Amino acid sequence: MTSIDWSAVQDVCFSNGGVILGIAFCAVLLGIWIHRNIPDFPKAPNDLDITTDLSLATRWIQSKKWLLRGRAMLIDAHVPGKTYMLPTPKNYCVFISAENNIKEFASSSNFSLHQAYDDLFSYRYNKLWHDEGESVHMTQIYYFRVLREGLTTKLPVLYPYMHETLVKGVADHLARKKAVDVNRQGWKQIHHYPFLEYITVSVIGPIFWGESLWANPEFQDAARRFPAQYFAFGEIVQHVPTFAVPLVKFAVTKGNKYRNILIKHLLPIVSEQMAEARNTPKSEENLPFINFIQYTVLMTQGKPYWTQERIILLLESLWRAGGHSVPMTLTHIMNSLCQYPEYMEPIREELDQQPQMNFSVLESLPLLNSFIKEVIRTKPLDSASTRRKALKTHTFKDGPHVPAGNLVCIPSYGIMNDAALYPNPEVFNGFRFTTRPTSDNQESIKGKQGETTRSKVTDVDLSFPFWGYGKEACPGRFFASFEMKSVIALLVSRYDFKLANADKPTTWLWRTFTLPRKDTVLLIRERSEH
Ligand code: HEM
């Protein structure tokens, strides 16, 4: 029998005792960090149409893969009409596409939109003020009131202003660029997404904050930068241990720099306008829409819940919600116009045929409407919609049992690419939505009296759940769609454009999102006829 000679091991251990102790200490710290980062998943949903049996390790790996490959995982897992689940970093997400189940969860108080977005954007760490008495319900009511009653109904009046701002914004932006091509054909080079972000924010900025505040360079710069910083922090904070959150917040937000600037400017304005409103008789009907600040102040007049801090928080949330998704979706639309140039001429012709452009004309153009809708169908910003977190355990009438703490979502990409709803879904057909519907199951395209109407970008229905579904569907979609149409109409009718490098990818993926790359370069020049 051979005996083991331990002396070598002893030599290593004792002569390197400090090092080994150090490694052991680091291992303990790593263990604590991993432990804190493996959240206690809620109980797994069951009674699904497609069941998944996941070991702890698989669940952990899958939930991390979700960040980088969420969209692909969701598309792979999708079976029309079936319920299935995938693990996300904090819980399971149950995907529901059967009509009854969608209607059931979208209207049930057991589920919360706010809590679901808290998981995504870390609201709880991202808040400015800790507000014990805050009512999510009240905030949601006012999101809808301000956006629907305020902004949406005023779009016809706002169009000339929006158009003028766009024309100037694009011209000024391009004037700062030198022509790049050697053949002297007048092409200029711009970074596509930053350009569209700049001009769309230039349109909504004054409508939101008022012209004089928007003209303040310090305020405008902070307002432009704040949403991106908010989302970056919301993402980063999910991957650091809780004790490090304040430090990370300080580092990422540079000590709340942009938010503090917004507040410095907003507090005196909001408080002055509230004082003025108190001395003016309250009118419920036809409040004038001058800008968002003023409209919100008038709308909340006489409601003790609405303190100046809460009004600012409401404005801040609306600004974040509206700021980034419009230019991102718009970039997908413009990229698709470059990718499928055969659509450019018909859309241009449709625009050129209009003797005068205004809100109703722009809203009535079938080719423009259809092209935008087809891009959204094939390349939605988010492949899942109508995120809701189960606040209470919920057992659906038709099956799935969802323990509290899990998410429920609609697999919007899967539905919008289902061959039963959209024939040849894999084919990009820019004018797919110009024909009137043939199938009875598309409830959206039926008017109030059952008459068919043309499909619109802003439709919310079971075959087009891009904007969410039910009473909480995006209240900003009318403005978003109209702004996107205004930008495309201007660029298509006055400019030629193409991608500088058609072979380079134009998007990157994160979770279930398809985001435009910031480094995509667009070549653009003014059309000679204009
Ligand atoms: C292309 C642009 C946009 C897209 C893709 C988009 C998409 C969405 C989606 C999917 C939801 C969730 C609905 C649900 O889960 O049922 C939502 C909610 C919301 N959107 Fe939009 N949106 C866009 C533009 C805007 C704009 C421009 C504004 C404001 C000016 C806005 C304001 C809101 C608000 C306030 C909510 C939250 C409603 C609540 O908490 O109840 N959105 N949006």
- In this structure, which residue's CA is closest to atom 17 in ligand 1? 474
| Mean pLDDT value across residues 284-309 | 84
Distance 484 CA to ligand 1 centre (A): 14
- Give me the mean pLDDT over the 169-175 stretch: 93
Question: Lowest mean pLDDT: which of 13-27, 290-304, 485-499, 504-518?
Answer: 13-27
Does 282 have pLDDT greater than 80? no
Instruction: Give the lowest-confidence range in 71-85, 365-379, 432-446.
Output: 432-446
Q: Residue 389 domain-assigned?
A: yes
Residue 148 Cα to ligand 1 midpoint, Å, equals: 12
Q: Residue 279: pLDDT band by 50, 70, 90 thresholds? A: confident
pLDDT at site 447 = 36
Q: Which residue, by CA, sits nearest to atom 40 of ligand 1? A: 140
Which of the two residues, 482 and 135, has the higher pLDDT score?
Answer: 482
The residue to mutate among 314, 472, 477, 514, having the most atoms of ligand 1 within 8 angstroms of its beta carbon, is: 477
Cα of 318 to ligand 1 centre, how many Å? 9
Rounded to the nearest integer, the mean pLDDT of the chain is 88
Task: Note the pLDDT tens digit of each residue in 96-106.
Answer: 999 999 999 98
Question: Which residue would you say has higher pLDDT here, 271 or 128?
Answer: 271
Tell me, using a 6 A CB cutoff, whether residue 226 lines ligand 1. Answer: no
Band of residue 283 on the pLDDT scale cut at 50, 70, 90 = low
251: pLDDT strictly greater than 70: yes
The token pair that represents 209 in the structure block: 């904050």
Q: Is residue 113 part of a domain?
A: no
Pairing type for strands 92-95 and 407-410 reads parallel
Structure tokens that stand for 130 in this block: 């800790």
Ligand 1 in reach of 326 Cβ (< 6 A): yes
pLDDT digits (tens, 9 = 90+) for 381-420: 999 999 999 999 999 998 899 999 999 999 999 999 999 9
Q: Kindly indicate the confidence band of residue 440, based on its pLDDT and cuts at 50, 70 and 90.
A: very low
Mean per-residue pLDDT, 336-345: 97
pLDDT of residue 528: 80
pLDDT exceeding 90 applies to what percent of the chain?
66
**Which amino acid residue places its CA nearest to atom 15 of ligand 1?**
386
Q: For residues 148 and 143, give the distance between their C-alpha atoms in angstroms, rounded to a whole number.
A: 8
pLDDT tier at 278 (50, 70, 90 boundaries)?
confident
Q: Is 338 assigned a ligand-binding role in the annotation?
A: no
Task: For 442-460, write each residue's pLDDT tens digit.
Answer: 443 333 334 345 799 999 9
On whether residue 357 sits in a domain, the answer given is: yes
Cα 480 to ligand 1 centre (Å): 9
Which is it for strands 401-402 and 507-510: parallel, antiparallel or unpaired? unpaired
512 lines ligand 1 (CB under 6 A): no
Q: Which domain holds residue 512?
A: 136-526
Alpha-carbon gap, residue 523 to 530, rounded angstroms: 17
Give the confidence band of 160 by pLDDT, cuts at 50, 70, 90: very high
| 476 Cβ closer than 6 Å to some ligand 1 atom | yes
Asked, for residue 253, whether it belongs to a domain, the answer is yes
Domain annotation covers residue 262: yes
Q: Is the CB of 329 under 6 A from ligand 1?
A: yes
Task: Tell me: pLDDT of 438 over 70.
Answer: no
Condensed to tens digits (0 to 9), the pLDDT of residues 13-51 reads: 556 677 778 888 887 777 666 665 555 789 999 999 998
Q: Which has the higher per-residue pLDDT, 144 or 3?
A: 144
Nearest-CA residue for atom 32 of ligand 1: 476
Q: Does pLDDT of 439 surpass 50?
A: no
The token pair at 401 is: 């049992």
Number of the ligand 1 atom closest to the C-alpha atom of 140: 41
Higher pLDDT residue, 374 or 234?
374
- Ligand 1 atom closest to Cα of residue 479: 27
Of the candidates 384, 476, 375, 467, the one whose C-alpha atom is nearest the C-alpha of residue 428 is 375
The answer to whether the CB of 354 falls within 8 A of the CB of 361 is yes
ipTM of the complex: 0.98
Q: Is residue 59 part of a domain?
A: no
**CA-CA distance, 437 to 462, in Å (whole number)?**
14
Single out the residue of 420, 418, 412 nearest to residue 438, CA to CA: 420
Hey, which of 474, 482, 483, 488 would you mutate to test ligand 1's pocket, going by the most ligand atoms within 8 Å of its Cβ? 474
Residue 467 CB less than 6 A away from ligand 1: yes
User: Structural domain tally of the chain?
Assistant: 1
Q: What is the pLDDT of residue 466?
A: 97
- Looking at residue 451, its pLDDT comes to 39
Please indicate, yes or no, if residue 283 is contained in any of the structural domains.
Answer: yes
**Looking at ligand 1, which residue's alpha carbon is closest to its atom 3?**
325
What CATH number is attached to the domain comprising 282? 1.10.630.10
- Does residue 435 lie within any of the structural domains? yes
Q: What is the pLDDT of residue 449?
A: 38
pLDDT of residue 285 exceeding 90: no
Is the shortest distance between the CB of 473 and ligand 1 below 6 Å? yes
Q: What is the pLDDT of residue 436?
A: 54
**Which helix (H) or strand (E) is 395 found in, with range?**
strand 394-395
Ligand 1 nearest atom to the CA of residue 387, by list position: 15
Contacts 24+ apart (CB under 8 A), 156-164: 156/358, 156/359, 156/360, 157/289, 158/207, 159/358, 159/359, 159/362, 159/482, 159/486, 160/358, 161/207, 162/203, 162/207, 162/483, 162/486, 163/357, 163/486, 163/490
pLDDT tens digits along 348-364: 999 999 999 999 999 99
Q: Determine which residue's CA is closest to atom 43 belonging to ligand 1.
A: 474
Q: Read off the pLDDT of residues 79-138 as tens digits, 9 standing for 90 and up.
A: 999 999 999 988 999 999 999 999 999 889 999 999 998 888 888 888 777 777 888 889
3-state secondary structure of 93: strand
